[in-house]
Structure 1
Amino acid sequence: MKRTATFFAALALLAGQASAQSSDWNYTATLYGWFAGLDTSVDTPRGTINAELSSKDVLEDLDASLMAAFEARRGPWGFVVDGVYSKLSAGKATPFGQSFSEAVVETKLSQVTGLALYRFHSSPTLKFDAGAGFRWFDVDMGVTLTPGSLGVTRTSSIGDSWVDPLLAARVILPINDVWTATALVDFGGTGSDDKTWQALASVQYQFNDNWSAAFGYRTMNLQHDIGGRPNEITLSGPFIAAGFRF
């Protein structure tokens, strides 16, 4: 808790320094769809269940989803907030022989990433940002083993919320007056059993001073002990986005 408080105090200090800049603020709000496949490892009392779902599978099994991002810039400073909420349930064959006929895995994932980025280099051909931030996770995972030869149903569930500190870097490559390529990576965590990282690459088209559209590919990974059991989730797939700058 002390480490988290110190980390947020540092972010507040960065925000205070940014407010002292003389240039005006500008903002970009983005809504996007991330068609991510899911690879998850759930450690249950009866053993580990690995579930791999393609982007198509996730779309078919998705119960709810909400994704949005917001960036505020002033001078060389940028502050980014990105949020994802998804809920899905999927069935797969169990690794426990004939004891159970199917395992239904339900995953609810919420994440909020906040970054403070400083622009160390800016030219007509290259912009480079680097900084620090945090990623908050709230994960609930449930497994239902449907009856097989044992004739009984077993259920188990685990959940946790936590915050990981992050380091991040972003490269922006203006291609021409309307096209821009962007790549971002971040990584962080608090130890070998608590890690997260993200990588994305996108191409953006600017329709006018306000509106833009982008498409790209994004991967996010988390590893964390939940309920004393190691669990890992990887989301990976293409995305499309619409942004409004003001």
Structure 2
Amino acid sequence: MKCNTSKFIMAAVAALMLPATGGLAEEAQKNDGWEFGASIYGWFPDMSGQLAFTPPGGSDSFTVNVEDVLDNIEAVLMVSFEARKGRWGVLTDFVYMDIEGSKSGTKDFTVGNQQLPANASADVGLVLENLFWTLAGTYQAVEKDWLTMNVIAGTRYFDVDQTLDWKLNGTVNSVTVADRSGSQTVEVENWDAIIGTRGRLMFGPGKSIFVPYELDVGAGDSDFTWQGAVGLGYSFGWAEIVAAWRYMYYDVADMGIETMEYSGPVLGGSFRW
């Protein structure tokens, strides 16, 4: 199923890029000078996935579902910048999130690939520091009064520091004594190549209302990753406001993180000059 999903997403990206390649020969009025844009925004995602830990003093691996524990965003910083000259450009996007939470008496906690016994539970605390940094080149393949489409290619850095505190309660004789409580920190740092498309549909008076969209796929240190976003915005010319929905997925098996998903609303503003 995972393989079929990744193939479908990659096919969707290719299909979106086909009309772009068909428009390479189209002539469009271009500004020969540099154009810049900067954005600051808030992304408020729900997180889901599985984290796997192997305590240094024990023999059992632990698995915990992220969505059952995390509930509090402690710190967040999200900014992006782009520059373009003619059809060519560069963009960078930086996201940092510090999220933590705890849960008492949970049974959704796996020890040695086995669920906890019926008369046992776990007190779990989890802290995740997430950093995403995208750096890519862009080519504006289509520019019409109602549509822009850019081909993007570059890299995305994914850095997660995860700290798990746990204590098992009840009848846990099947778990080694060293593994019944403790704390462990695992860091994952991945670089992945990405390719995709981004742009906007424009309508309304003066084409001031727009629908931004973005879709990319990648792999490298990660087995597979993809992200997508779509929203609604309003342009004042020199400034814009946007509300959107953004989704990001990582498959990072055998590195402490099995899978991670981030999905939620985005609110932000941009300035162009």
1:197, CA displacement in angstroms? 0.6
Q: Is the 8 A contact 1:159 1:226 kept in 2?
A: no
Q: Which runs of 5+ in 2 are unaligned?
A: 1-29, 55-60, 110-115
Provide closer, same or farther for how the CA distance between residues 28 and 226 of structure 1 changes in structure 2, counting only shifts above 3 A: farther
1:66 partnered with 2:77:
yes
- Tell me the distance in 1 between the aligned counterparts of 2:65 and 2:101: 12
Which of structures 1 and 2 has the bigger CA Rg?
Answer: 2
- Tell me the distance in 2 between the aligned counterparts of 1:211 and 1:22: 19
1:114 partnered with 2:135:
yes
Provide closer, same or farther for how the CA distance between residues 30 and 226 of structure 1 changes in structure 2, counting only shifts above 3 A: farther
1:163 partnered with 2:172:
no
Q: Is the 8 A contact 2:191 2:220 kept in 1?
A: no
- Tell me the distance in 1 between the aligned counterparts of 2:145 and 2:235: 16
TM-score, with normalisation over the residues of structure 2? 0.73
1:230, CA displacement in angstroms? 4.8
Q: Which residue of 2 aligns with 1:205?
A: 234
Specify the SS of the correspondent of 2:189: strand
Two-structure CA RMSD over aligned residues (Å): 2.3
1:51 partnered with 2:72:
no
Specify the SS of the correspondent of 1:52: helix
Q: Which residue of 2 aligns with 1:17?
A: none
Q: Which runs of 5+ in 1 are unaligned?
A: 1-20
1:226, CA displacement in angstroms? 5.7
- Tell me the distance in 2 between the aligned counterparts of 1:33 and 1:189: 26
Q: Deviations over 1:143-181 (max 9, x none)?
A: 111352369522222112121000011231111321111
The residue type paired with residue 264 of structure 2 is G
The equivalent position to 1:30 in structure 2, one of 34, 39, 52, is 39
Aligned residue-pair number: 219
Q: Is the 8 A contact 1:225 1:231 kept in 2?
A: yes
Q: Which residue of 1 aligns with 2:261?
A: 234
Q: Is the 8 A contact 2:159 2:188 kept in 1?
A: yes
Q: How does 1:1-246 map to 2 (within 5 A)?
A: 23-45=32-54, 46-52=61-67, 61-92=72-103, 93-94=106-107, 95=109, 96-97=116-117, 99-149=120-170, 153-176=181-204, 177=206, 178-190=208-220, 194-207=223-236, 209-225=237-253, 227=255, 229-246=256-273
Percent identity between matched residues is: 23
The residue type paired with residue 233 of structure 2 is Q
The residue type paired with residue 267 of structure 2 is I
The residue type paired with residue 244 of structure 1 is F
- Tell me the distance in 2 between the aligned counterparts of 1:139 and 1:101: 23
- Tell me the distance in 2 between the aligned counterparts of 1:49 and 1:181: 37
The residue type paired with residue 67 of structure 2 is E
The residue type paired with residue 213 of structure 1 is I
1:241, CA displacement in angstroms? 0.6
Q: Is the 8 A contact 2:138 2:150 kept in 1?
A: yes
